[in-house]
């Protein structure tokens, strides 16, 4: 899990944003589509963070 978190969050540390490229939205199942829509609209998120450092502090507790 730590490696996956490192690979995913490294661009956040370096660029200050999450960059994900999805080639074809039609290949996503309904649940994945809903999760992406929710994230883009700030709906149903378990928690938000003001800074990357705040996020890391929470992840490391």
Domain boundaries defined on the chain: 22-61
Q: At what angle do helices 2-15 and 52-59 cross, to 10 degrees?
A: 170
Q: pTM for this one?
A: 0.40
CA 11 to each of CA 33, 51, 52: distance values in angstroms, whole numbers, following the listed order:
23, 14, 11
More confident residue, 44 or 1: 44
Question: DSSP code of 42?
Answer: T
Which residue, 26, 48, 28, is CA-closest to 39? 48
The tokens describing 40, both together, are 């883009």
Of the pLDDT bands very low, low, confident and very high (cuts 50, 70, 90), residue 61 is confident
Q: Which residue blocks in the chain are alpha helix, DSSP H?
A: 2-15, 30-40, 52-59
Give the pLDDT confidence of 4-59 residue by residue, as tens digits: 777 667 766 666 666 666 667 677 888 988 988 898 898 988 888 899 999 999 99
């Amino acid at each position: 899990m730590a490696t996956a978190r490192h690979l995913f969050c490294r661009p956040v540390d370096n660029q200050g944003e999450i960059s994900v490229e999805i080639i074809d939205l039609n290949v996503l199942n309904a649940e994945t589509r809903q999760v992406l829509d929710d994230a883009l609209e700030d709906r149903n998120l378990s928690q938000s963070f003001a800074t990357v450092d705040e996020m890391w502090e929470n992840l490391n507790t």
